[in-house]
C-alpha cells in the first residue's frame, strides 16, 4: 500500500503540477486561465442552485404531504425554474470543460511531438528499447491525462463547494446525521483503497499489453507483402495469440478486483439512501419536523457524503489515471534524457569544413568482432571519397557512426553540423504528403519556387513522377506510387536543395541506374558539394579524389588520387 500511495501522491502530483505550470505559462495560458475562471464561477452557481433546489424540494414535498394546492403549484414552478437554470449552467460548464481539456491536450501533444522528433529522440528510444509504445502514450495517454486530470480538479473543487454548502444544511437538520455522513465517507474511502489498490499496477500493465497487441497487428499491415511472400502467417498467429492471452489474463485480474471492489461500493451507495431516513424519520413520527425535511435530509446527506466520498466513487478512474501518469512520467523522463555522445566510447564533435576520424575503432555489438580498426583520416571539404572494400558490415558501421547513430567502439569523429552534412540511406524515406513537401526542406518552404523544382525534376528525368503525383500539391503515398529508385532521386533532390557542405551516400547504385548516379555526381560537382559514398563497385571511380577500402577484420587502406588529402 505504501508503494501505491507513493505512486499516486508523489508521481501523480509532481507530474500534474509540472504540467499545469507549463500549460499556464505557454502561449495557450491566457485562454486557459479565462476558461478555468469561468468554470469556477459556474461551479459556484451549480452548488448555489443545488442548495436552492434542496430547500425547494423540501417545501414541495411538504406541500404534497399537507395537500396544499396553492403551495404545491408555487413550489412546482420554483422547481421547474431551478431545474432549467441548473441544466443551462451544467451544459455550459461541460462545454467549457471539454474545450479546456482539448486545449490542454493540444499543447501537451504539440510539445511532446516536438521533443519526440527532435535530436533523434524517436530513434534513440526505439533502438535502445528505452520506452515501450511511445506512439500510444502520445496519442492515448496524453488524451486520458488531460481529460481525467481536469475532471478530477473540477470534481475536487465541486466537492469542496458542496461540503461548505451542505454541511450547514445537514447540521441544521441533525448534528448526528452530519457526524454520520463524515464518518461513513471516511470509513468507505479507507476500505476502497484497501480493496482497490491492486488496480493501479494492473491498469498500468493493461495499457502496455493492449499496445503490444495492437503493434503486432500494425506490423502485419505494414509488412503484408513480405509476410505473404515468406508464408510466415503461422508464426505471426502464435505471436498475436500469445499477446492476446497476456492482455486477457491481466484483464481477468482487473475484473476480479473490480468485482471485489463492486461488492463494497454498491452496498456503500445503497446504504446512503436509507441512513438519513433511519436517523431523521423518528423525529417526523414524533411530530418534531415536517415531512419535507426527510427528503431534504436525504438529498443533503447524499450530496455531502458524495463530496466526502470522491475516492469511493472515482477509485477506478483514479487507479487508471495513476497508471497513465506513471507512463507519461516515464515518457517525459526518457525524452528529456540527454544522450551521451560518449556513451558507446565514441566522441562526436562539430567542425564545418572537414570530416576527421581519430583512432576510430568500431566493433560488432553482436559478437564483438572488429569491423574497423583505428581509422585515422582527415577529409577536407572538396574531397570526394569512395568507401569500398569487402567488409560490408564495416562500411555500414562507418556510415552509421558518421551519421551519429549509436555505434559500439571508441575513438573520435569530427564532422559538420546536421545542417551542413546530410545522409542518404540505401532505402530512402519520403514523408507522406505532397510532392512539394517531399522535395523542399521545411526551413526553405517559402524560398524554393516551382520553376526550381521543375528544373531539377527535368534534369533527373523525373517528369513522369510529376505526372503520376498530379502536380506538386496533391497528397500521395510514395511507397505505393514510386519505385525505390525514384524515391531515392526525390530524396536526393530534397538533400540537394538543403545545400549542405557534405553528403554521405549509402549504396546509391543498388536502386539507381548508372546514368542517374552519374547525373547526381555531376550535379554535386557543379555546386561544389563534397560527397562520401559507400559502394560495392568502382564503376564511377572517375568522380572521386580518394578511395577508402575497408576489408576483413577491420583492416583499412587509404588511396588518394590527388595531393592535399592526408591520412593522419
Number of H helices, E strands in the chain: 20, 10
Distance between CA atoms of 505 and 425, rounded to whole angstroms?
6
What domains, with CATH codes, occur in the chain?
2-336 (1.20.1560.10), 346-560 (3.40.50.300)
pLDDT at 95: 93
- Its pTM stands at 0.64
pLDDT at 342: 43
Distance between CA atoms of 409 and 401, rounded to whole angstroms?
10
- C-alpha cell of 194? 484497501
Distance between CA atoms of 567 and 1, rounded to whole angstroms?
64
pLDDT at 143: 85
Contact of 147 with 105, CB cutoff 8 Å = yes
The alpha carbons of the chain give a radius of gyration, in whole angstroms, of 34
pLDDT at 99: 92
pLDDT at 503: 92
Contact of 82 with 200, CB cutoff 8 Å = no
pLDDT at 339: 55
Contact of 442 with 479, CB cutoff 8 Å = no
Closest CA to 300 of 121, 174, 421, 120: 174
Distance between CA atoms of 145 and 304, rounded to whole angstroms?
27
- C-alpha cell of 53? 433546489
Q: What is the mean pLDDT of each run of 10 residues along the chain (568 residues)?
A: 44 72 88 91 86 79 82 84 87 91 89 80 69 77 84 80 74 79 80 80 83 84 73 80 91 87 78 75 74 72 70 70 76 69 69 89 83 89 90 90 83 90 87 87 84 89 89 85 89 89 89 87 90 85 90 88 58
pLDDT at 12: 61
Cα torsion 438, 440, 442, 446: sign: negative
Distance between CA atoms of 533 and 446, rounded to whole angstroms?
31
Amino acid at each position: 500500500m505504501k508503494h501505491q500511495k507513493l505512486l499516486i501522491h508523489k508521481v501523480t502530483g509532481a507530474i500534474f503540477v509540472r504540467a499545469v505550470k507549463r500549460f499556464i505559462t505557454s502561449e495557450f495560458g491566457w485562454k486557459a486561465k479565462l476558461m478555468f475562471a469561468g468554470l469556477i464561477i459556474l461551479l459556484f452557481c451549480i452548488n448555489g442552485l443545488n442548495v436552492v433546489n434542496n430547500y425547494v424540494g423540501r417545501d414541495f414535498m411538504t406541500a404534497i404531504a399537507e395537500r396544499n394546492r396553492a403551495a404545491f403549484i408555487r413550489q412546482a414552478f420554483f422547481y421547474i425554474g431551478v431545474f432549467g437554470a441548473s441544466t443551462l449552467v451544467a451544459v455550459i460548464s461541460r462545454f467549457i470543460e471539454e474545450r479546456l481539456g482539448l486545449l490542454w491536450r493540444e499543447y501537451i501533444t504539440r510539445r511532446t511531438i516536438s521533443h519526440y522528433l527532435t535530436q533523434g529522440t524517436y530513434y534513440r528510444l526505439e533502438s535502445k528499447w528505452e520506452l515501450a509504445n511511445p506512439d500510444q502514450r502520445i496519442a492515448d495517454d496524453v488524451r486520458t491525462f488531460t481529460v481525467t486530470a481536469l475532471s478530477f480538479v473540477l470534481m475536487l473543487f465541486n466537492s469542496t463547494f458542496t461540503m461548505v454548502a451542505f454541511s450547514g444544511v445537514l447540521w441544521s437538520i441533525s448534528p448526528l446525521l452530519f457526524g454520520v455522513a463524515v464518518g461513513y465517507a471516511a470509513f468507505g474511502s479507507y476500505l476502497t483503497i484497501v480493496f482497490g489498490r491492486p488496480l493501479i499496477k494492473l491498469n498500468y500493465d493493461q495499457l502496455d499489453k493492449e499496445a503490444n497487441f495492437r503493434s503486432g497487428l500494425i506490423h502485419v499491415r505494414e509488412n503484408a507483402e513480405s509476410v505473404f511472400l515468406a508464408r510466415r502467417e503461422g508464426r505471426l498467429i502464435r505471436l498475436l495469440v500469445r499477446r492476446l492471452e497476456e492482455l486477457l489474463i491481466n484483464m481477468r485480474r482487473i475484473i476480479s478486483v473490480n468485482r471485489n471492489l463492486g461488492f463494497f461500493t454498491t452496498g456503500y451507495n445503497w446504504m446512503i439512501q436509507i441512513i438519513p431516513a433511519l436517523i431523521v424519520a423518528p423525529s417526523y413520527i414524533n411530530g418534531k419536523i415536517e415531512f419535507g425535511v426527510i427528503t431534504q435530509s436525504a438529498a443533503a446527506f447524499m450530496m455531502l457524503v458524495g463530496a466526502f466520498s470522491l475516492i469511493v466513487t472515482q477509485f477506478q478512474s483514479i487507479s487508471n489515471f495513476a497508471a497513465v501518469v506513471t507512463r507519461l512520467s516515464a515518457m517525459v523522463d526518457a525524452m528529456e534524457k540527454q544522450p551521451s555522445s560518449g556513451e558507446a566510447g565514441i566522441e562526436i564533435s562539430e567542425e564545418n569544413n572537414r570530416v576527421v576520424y581519430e583512432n576510430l575503432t568500431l566493433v560488432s555489438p553482436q559478437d564483438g568482432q572488429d569491423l574497423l580498426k583505428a581509422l585515422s583520416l582527415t577529409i577536407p571539404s572538396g574531397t570526394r571519397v569512395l568507401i569500398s572494400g569487402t567488409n560490408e558490415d564495416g562500411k555500414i558501421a562507418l556510415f552509421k557512426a558518421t551519421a551519429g547513430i549509436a555505434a559500439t567502439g571508441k575513438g573520435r569523429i569530427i564532422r559538420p553540423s546536421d545542417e551542413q552534412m546530410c545522409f542518404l540511406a540505401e532505402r530512402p524515406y519520403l514523408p507522406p504528403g505532397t510532392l512539394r513537401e517531399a522535395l523542399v526542406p521545411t526551413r526553405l518552404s517559402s524560398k524554393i519556387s516551382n520553376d526550381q523544382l521543375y528544373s531539377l525534376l527535368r534534369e533527373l528525368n523525373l517528369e513522369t513522377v510529376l505526372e503520376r503525383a498530379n502536380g506538386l500539391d496533391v497528397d500521395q503515398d510514395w511507397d505505393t506510387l514510386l519505385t525505390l529508385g525514384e524515391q531515392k532521386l526525390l530524396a536526393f533532390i530534397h538533400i540537394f536543395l538543403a545545400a549542405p557542405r557534405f553528403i554521405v551516400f549509402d549504396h546509391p547504385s543498388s536502386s539507381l541506374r548508372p546514368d542517374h548516379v552519374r547525373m547526381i555526381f555531376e550535379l554535386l560537382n557543379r555546386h561544389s558539394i563534397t560527397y562520401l559514398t559507400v559502394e560495392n563497385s568502382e564503376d564511377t571511380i572517375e568522380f572521386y579524389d580518394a578511395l577508402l577500402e575497408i576489408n576483413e577484420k577491420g583492416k583499412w587502406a587509404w588511396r588518394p588520387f590527388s595531393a592535399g588529402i592526408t591520412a593522419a
